[in-house]
Structure 1
Amino acid sequence: MEPRKVMDTMLVSRVRILYIRSLLARSPELQSIKVSPIERFLEKSNSTSRSRGSSRGSSPGRSPGYHHDHGSRVALMDENVHGFKVNIKQEKKSKFSSIVLKLRGIEEETWRQHVTGGKLREITEEAKAFAIGNKALAALFVHTPAGELQRQIRAWLAENFDFLSVTGGDVAGGTTGQLELLSTAIMDGWMAGLGTAQPPSTDALGQLLSEYSKRVYTSQLQHLKDIAGTLATEEADDPVHVSKLRSALESVDHKRRKIMQQMRIDTALLTKEEGGSPIRNPPTAAEDARLASLISLDNILKQVKEVIKQSSTRPLRKSKKKALLESLDDLLAQMPSLLDIDHPCAQKQITDARNAVESLQEDPDDPAPDPNSNSNTLGESEVSQWNVLQFNTGTTAPFIIKCGANSSCELVIKADQRVQEPKGGEVIRVVPRPSVLAEMGFEEMKGVFEQLPEAVSLLALARSADGTRARYSRLYRTLASKVPALKEIVAEMERGGVFKDVRS
């Protein structure tokens, strides 16, 4: 069973190493890490100090840490671990032992191979025990190719055990064979130990993978934080600049969310057993607020552009010009939803548009609308699609209001002039935005409602001015939300606090 366990843990180590090396290849944050040489991990069992190549002081322990070489600014893994004690003694030939073996009928070469095999198994087990939970050794394996690492072990053995360098047929397998066997035994033991879990923690390579992943995620999040911070302080000059800034911040935010999603998957996988500390996500409240402001600003500027487009149609009727100016006033009312840094751009674009609309000449043949007239002064043909809503107040028979949008993106309703008989036939009216009622008194609002179908008064009129504004806002929202062309405008009005009902 034991060889199977060793093979299993060695397989774990190989998979971990491949995964970590893949992470290293695509992560500049990890490529600057330097690990100590092989001499720091090997030690002669009969010596009181490290090997000749590692005489630099290092206290025992298993707590690897990172520090920076201030000269080269390169991350260095400084492992405070004791070296693996290699216990190899030169075989002493004895005529007496040869005679005993002959008397027992055992060939000397067979006995030598038996002793060598037992010693190699002992070294492998000791190497495995040394490697369990040893993150510093795990880092050495990850940052050093396997063939190169075994070559370094062979070189250290040849340097520190002179008798292995003696050539001659007396050494079983030859000198090269002995070095190969010993270095392989150490490598196999280390590989098996690095893949062995140490409850409640995972194996050393798993711990290293978790630590490296956290470093990568932390670095990436900080990098995105720096980019977003720079973009968030950049002032937008015009609609094109606003669109570019918004797109850039949205791209950074998307990348950050992808990293956070990957963190939730990887961190759960890598640190579930060891209870690793969570990765600290740099705060992004300021950047998120700027992105929200830019989104609102971008939508405001798109509506300003639409107003300019609508004003270019000829002839320009008085009612349409008035509606366009009211639309610009509504956009001004949405400016509190913007950050201060975005106010100048919005103010300039709205002011320029207002000046352009005000400078346009009205159609001299456009008659002033008669508020008492039932005729369709807007032209029913301007509304391409009507959406039907039925209302039931409980005090009257159910009634219907049809709603749509005209070419000026205004809410238009079509309903019977009166709710009860005689209903007086259908009339079409533009419904004023809730902001129009903001400064009106109760009687003034009643006067506005008198120009609209009776259904509006029935649904919106309350006992007080504030109550009427709230009910009217709710009615306007209900009607406009049913018109696809007005949904974006409704959303902007909600963000701008135009609605005065309890939901705003």
Structure 2
Amino acid sequence: MPLLRKLHEENEKLFDRLTEKSGLASSPQAPSPSSNQATNAQGRDIGRSNSAKTQSPDVFPATMSQDKTGNSGAIVKSSNELAKTTPAGEYLTSALMDFDPNHFEGFAAIADGANKLLMLVLAAVIKAGAAREHEILAEIRDAVFSFIRKMEPRKVMDTMLVSRVRILYIRSLLARSPELQSIKVSPIERFLEKSNSTSRSRGSSRGSSPGRSPGYHHDHVSRVALIDENVQGFKVNIKQEKKSKFSSIVLKLRGIEEETWRQHVTGGKLREITEEAKAFAIGNKALAALFVHTPAGELQRQIRAWLAENFDFLSVTGGDVAGGTTGQLELLSTAIMDGWMAGLGTAQPPSTDALGQLLSEYSKRVYTSQLQHLKDIAGTLATEEADDPVHVSKLRSALESVDHKRRKIMQQMRTDTALLTKEEGGSPIRNPPTAAEDARLASLISLDNILKQVKEVIKQSSTRPLRKSKKKALLESLDDLLAQMPSLLDIDHPCAQKQITDARNVVESLQEDPDDPAPDPNSNSNTLGESEVSQWNVLQFNNGTTAPFIIKCGANSSCELVIKADQRVQEPKGGEVIRVVPRPSVLAEMGFEEMKGVFEQLPEAVSLLALARSADGTRARYSRLYRTLASKVPALKEIVAEMERGGVFKDVRS
């Protein structure tokens, strides 16, 4: 049964199954005019090919118009596109993924089941029409490629069907990928060669097969990708039939009609040409590129033209030639096309078929181009100097968006079933380095957080009346932010410096509350007001020399660390006191005795936990204590992280 008739039958079976599955059999929906028109156009193309007895790969032409809604949509899909499903896609995905050769008895049964699934794929594309061709192909993409790779070792698939499916996907990729529009392929004349040998052995064309991995190179002037010119042609071995009276007499004596014998010889020769063409095409990526880049129906016309030009006797009108001259050209070109199609779909273990290898290379080229495009954008953003908080936020958002897209592409590459691994003969994808862009993004994140804290300081300074302790705490906060600047790149220093300096000028210019008395360090009164701390977190410590003691920690409205603890660890404890704990940066330039003076204003527990034998040791122990306490306060976790990045902590973990 001809392939096209089978496709029509499988198409109808698929439609019946889907209408039953989706419950639409009783109330079918009328197809849209555009879809109906596309389907009719497909049907007319198939009819012409069938009447010409040609099994052309262009029976299912891909729409080559550019996708105006988004570049490179064939590779990077939006979340909506990824989630889009159809009854046909769901059915085919399930059928392809669930196909188990072990459930069939014998080679013929497995081959029949596998080839029917491939025909269903082609039928579904026809049914979808040109308008929805890309959608159905994208939906079943992973299932199709996994199925082909799974069945390749068994050698049960019709390789011409494999080629047709591959061509659909490559043309879909070409239609939606501007990165591939510059590719040029060699003309048909470079793939055909007139043989000087009269031998009919299959080895005549096998020896002339081109290299199995045609290279690609870039013309740096025109930026046009070209197929390697070192392509050997397929040797076509045809000779003019010489009539012999003796052979005619022998045939008559044997009771064989001369016309029947001529058709028998012609059929044998065509089969031989097809087999030789298949051997020539196996693993031939240059020929695969010619197939996918040549418009519908054009390739076979070019083969016919080459045959007519190089074999004069085929161009001479002969009434005694079976089928006429045109018939012979059609038969010969079809034999070559069929052989090439079968060869291009034949796998080369451990790799896949030539079209699959070409699809992998094209996909990698698109991925590489997209990654380079994102790197160029990120590189431009990374060199842009930020002027103010709004500009910083926009730059950070833009770089994060580019980084998100890059990671998304990398994830798709890792899961793309069309890409060949190194073990399968695939080439590695060169991922452009992004160290500079990543460093700028990290710097902008730190800068953005610093500016948010500067904004919070300005907000806190607007409260009236402004206590002396509050003003001092705000200025210390700005000093701490200034100490975080080493975590920024040089390009971000001017913006941070300006914002911190402006905030300091604002705070210093504010009038203090004249009625605010200086705090008495020996007083048990709560100068901060316990009501400022909304939640206390309790930690118990044991230094090994005293009984365990408790320190409660929290945060005030200025995002400062506040502790509540007994004034002394041992009896008489003197009652609880509440104090703001200075940040580690306050101790940076202090001597040992100065630090002891600071600790005397705090509960005794701080001195027991922080004091060491030296100034550096004390700074390290105090940093660890501050980190431990502040990490337990949810409101201070982000500030602690910023202090860690800024190198504020002087303990061994910094």
What is the TM-score of this pair, normalised by structure 1?
0.91
Q: Distance in 2 between matches of 1:154 and 1:109?
A: 24
Q: Distance in 1 between matches of 2:593 and 2:222?
A: 79
Contact map agreement 1:134 1:204 (CA 8 A) in 2: yes
Residues 174-198 of structure 1: per-residue CA shift (max 9 Å, x gap): 4443332222211111112222233
Q: Distance in 2 between matches of 1:230 and 1:380?
A: 50
Contact map agreement 2:553 2:633 (CA 8 A) in 1: yes
Instruction: Quote how far apart the aligned CAs of 1:283 are.
Output: 2.5
Q: Distance in 1 between matches of 2:524 and 2:445?
A: 41
Secondary structure at the counterpart of residue 7 of structure 1? coil
Rate the CA distance shift 1:490–1:268 in 2: closer, same or farther, 3 A. farther
Instruction: Quote how far apart the aligned CAs of 1:152 are.
Output: 1.7
Residues 189-236 of structure 1: per-residue CA shift (max 9 Å, x gap): 111222223345543223323332333233223222222222221111
Contact map agreement 1:387 1:404 (CA 8 A) in 2: yes
Contact map agreement 2:540 2:549 (CA 8 A) in 1: yes
Residues 11-51 of structure 1: per-residue CA shift (max 9 Å, x gap): 33233322322322232221101111111111222399999
Contact map agreement 1:7 1:192 (CA 8 A) in 2: no
Rate the CA distance shift 1:173–1:164 in 2: closer, same or farther, 3 A. same
Rate the CA distance shift 1:227–1:463 in 2: closer, same or farther, 3 A. same
Q: Distance in 1 between matches of 2:593 and 2:162?
A: 82
Rate the CA distance shift 1:456–1:116 in 2: closer, same or farther, 3 A. same
Rate the CA distance shift 1:407–1:307 in 2: closer, same or farther, 3 A. same
Residues 408-450 of structure 1: per-residue CA shift (max 9 Å, x gap): 0000111122222232222111111111111222222122112
User: Which runs of 5 or more structure 2 residues have no equivalent in the other structure?
Assistant: 1-150
Rate the CA distance shift 1:2–1:360 in 2: closer, same or farther, 3 A. closer
Aligned length: 504
Q: Distance in 2 between matches of 1:317 and 1:5?
A: 86
Rate the CA distance shift 1:73–1:55 in 2: closer, same or farther, 3 A. farther
Contact map agreement 1:68 1:75 (CA 8 A) in 2: yes
Instruction: Quote how far apart the aligned CAs of 1:262 are.
Output: 3.2
Rate the CA distance shift 1:298–1:163 in 2: closer, same or farther, 3 A. same
Residues 351-373 of structure 1: per-residue CA shift (max 9 Å, x gap): 00000111111122222211111
Instruction: Quote how far apart the aligned CAs of 1:322 are.
Output: 0.8
Q: Distance in 1 between matches of 2:223 and 2:203?
A: 25
Rate the CA distance shift 1:176–1:379 in 2: closer, same or farther, 3 A. same
Secondary structure at the counterpart of residue 498 of structure 1? coil
Instruction: Quote how far apart the aligned CAs of 1:267 are.
Output: 9.2
Rate the CA distance shift 1:56–1:70 in 2: closer, same or farther, 3 A. farther
**Range with bigger deviation, 300-309 or 110-119:** 110-119
Instruction: Quote how far apart the aligned CAs of 1:55 are.
Output: 19
**Range with bigger deviation, 468-477 or 133-142:** 133-142
Rate the CA distance shift 1:272–1:282 in 2: closer, same or farther, 3 A. closer
**Range with bigger deviation, 147-156 or 397-406:** 147-156
Rate the CA distance shift 1:445–1:352 in 2: closer, same or farther, 3 A. same
**Range with bigger deviation, 466-475 or 42-51:** 42-51
Rate the CA distance shift 1:215–1:3 in 2: closer, same or farther, 3 A. closer
Q: Distance in 2 between matches of 1:374 and 1:36?
A: 92
Rate the CA distance shift 1:356–1:416 in 2: closer, same or farther, 3 A. same
Instruction: Quote how far apart the aligned CAs of 1:133 are.
Output: 2.3
**Range with bigger deviation, 43-52 or 102-111:** 43-52
Tell me what 1:302 maps to.
Answer: 452
Q: Distance in 1 between matches of 2:561 and 2:435?
A: 36
Instruction: Quote how far apart the aligned CAs of 1:62 are.
Output: 5.6
Contact map agreement 2:359 2:418 (CA 8 A) in 1: no
Rate the CA distance shift 1:72–1:330 in 2: closer, same or farther, 3 A. closer
Contact map agreement 1:42 1:51 (CA 8 A) in 2: no
Q: Distance in 1 between matches of 2:200 and 2:250?
A: 39
Rate the CA distance shift 1:92–1:473 in 2: closer, same or farther, 3 A. same
Contact map agreement 1:480 1:490 (CA 8 A) in 2: yes
Residues 295-341 of structure 1: per-residue CA shift (max 9 Å, x gap): 11111111101111111112211111111110000001111111111
**Range with bigger deviation, 309-318 or 98-107:** 98-107
Contact map agreement 1:49 1:55 (CA 8 A) in 2: no
CA RMSD of superposed structures (Å): 3.9
Rate the CA distance shift 1:107–1:49 in 2: closer, same or farther, 3 A. closer
Secondary structure at the counterpart of residue 503 of structure 1? coil
Contact map agreement 1:238 1:345 (CA 8 A) in 2: yes
Contact map agreement 1:43 1:51 (CA 8 A) in 2: no
Contact map agreement 2:206 2:276 (CA 8 A) in 1: no
Rate the CA distance shift 1:131–1:55 in 2: closer, same or farther, 3 A. closer
Secondary structure at the counterpart of residue 404 of structure 1? strand
After superposition, residues 307-322 of structure 1 pair within 5 angstroms as 307-322=457-472
Residues 68-111 of structure 1: per-residue CA shift (max 9 Å, x gap): 56775432223312211112233344444334333323333332
Contact map agreement 1:60 1:81 (CA 8 A) in 2: yes
Instruction: Quote how far apart the aligned CAs of 1:7 are.
Output: 5.1
Q: Distance in 1 between matches of 2:158 and 2:200?
A: 32
Contact map agreement 1:473 1:500 (CA 8 A) in 2: yes
Secondary structure at the counterpart of residue 346 of structure 2? coil
User: Which runs of 5 or more structure 1 residues have no equivalent in the other structure?
Assistant: none
Say yes or no: does 1:279 pair with 2:429.
yes
Instruction: Quote how far apart the aligned CAs of 1:115 are.
Output: 1.6
Q: Distance in 1 between matches of 2:222 and 2:206?
A: 20
Larger radius of gyration: 1
Q: Distance in 2 between matches of 1:455 and 1:183?
A: 95
**Range with bigger deviation, 274-283 or 316-325:** 274-283
Rate the CA distance shift 1:425–1:200 in 2: closer, same or farther, 3 A. same
Instruction: Quote how far apart the aligned CAs of 1:476 are.
Output: 0.6
Contact map agreement 1:207 1:270 (CA 8 A) in 2: yes
Q: Distance in 1 between matches of 2:589 and 2:328?
A: 98
Rate the CA distance shift 1:125–1:53 in 2: closer, same or farther, 3 A. closer
After superposition, residues 204-219 of structure 1 pair within 5 angstroms as 204-219=354-369
Rate the CA distance shift 1:411–1:189 in 2: closer, same or farther, 3 A. same
**Range with bigger deviation, 35-44 or 59-68:** 59-68
**Range with bigger deviation, 121-130 or 167-176:** 167-176
Secondary structure at the counterpart of residue 145 of structure 1? coil
Rate the CA distance shift 1:366–1:332 in 2: closer, same or farther, 3 A. same
Residues 121-157 of structure 1: per-residue CA shift (max 9 Å, x gap): 1001100111122221111012113522122212222
Secondary structure at the counterpart of residue 347 of structure 2? coil
Rate the CA distance shift 1:167–1:2 in 2: closer, same or farther, 3 A. farther
**Range with bigger deviation, 396-405 or 474-483:** 396-405
Contact map agreement 1:124 1:186 (CA 8 A) in 2: yes
Q: Distance in 1 between matches of 2:333 and 2:323?
A: 14
Rate the CA distance shift 1:334–1:71 in 2: closer, same or farther, 3 A. closer
Identity of aligned residues (%): 99
Contact map agreement 1:434 1:472 (CA 8 A) in 2: yes
Rate the CA distance shift 1:145–1:77 in 2: closer, same or farther, 3 A. same
